A = this chain, B = another copy of it.
Amino acid sequence: MSTVAKKLTARAIAERALEIGDAEGLDAVTIRRLASDLGVTPMALYWHYKNKEQLIIGMADHLVGGFAPKPADERPWQEQLRDLTEGLIRTLRAHPCAKDVIEQIDAVTVPSFLAVWDHALRLTRAAGFSVEESCLITQYLLHSATAIADATAAQQASPSGEAEAQRVRRKRLDLQSLPVESYPHLVEMAGPLVERKDPHLYDTFGVDLVLSGIAALAARR
């Protein structure tokens, strides 16, 4: 698999793990599979990561490592927070397995994410929210960004990509064959519910949804 015999480093391992996860799903990222791809013994990986949890943290770190929030400036916090959110979404969207990676770990353990989070906290504090409220809002923001990025990410091929398309068709048929009198809206909206989402709608409408909620609460204090 590895022709050049690249040097085995924590970074190289995380990169290969992300490639596998993006192409075949996070479930395919296995210590043994990863080692075999890297032309090495499974145990070799334990030198660089103490266990699989640390490896996934490494994946997350490499994932958001590509994103650095702009430094603080003089614009209103709303604009800066939108910038941050959109940047995060763009970064996460580059990796189909981003959502699964983020879900499996605690964001607070990811080194490269600390700067993003601190920045977000500064903005919500500047908006007038309390400490507890800021914690809630920033966690909520991460959640929402992840969901938005995932809904429009490049198609993730569980097995072959063709099998995935098959599953989508199956699910739409399941929805459409539901009793119309019980679930009128599900039947009517089966297509949009199940198919790949329009990135533009999510980038504008989705981000608006999240940020205008925050703005509304900031305005009423």
Contact = CB atoms under 8 A, between A and B. Distances in A.
Given A139-B151, A201-B132, A202-B136, A114 B183 contact: yes
Chain A's interface size range is 35 or more
B212 A217 contact: yes
A2 B91 CA distance: 49
Interface stretch (A3-11, A29-37, A77-85, A192-200): A192-200
A115 interface: yes
Contacts of A178: 114
Given A209-B217, A212-B216, A213-B209, A147 B137 contact: no
Interface string A157-201: 000000000000001001100100011111011001110011001
Given A109-B174, A114-B186, 8 more contacts: A115-B183, A118-B186, A131-B188, A133-B205, A134-B189, A140-B144, A144-B144, A215-B216
Interface in A109-155: 109, 114-115, 117-118, 121-122, 125, 131-137, 139-140, 143-144, 147, 151
Given A209-B213, A213-B212, A201 B118 contact: no
A185 B132 contact: no
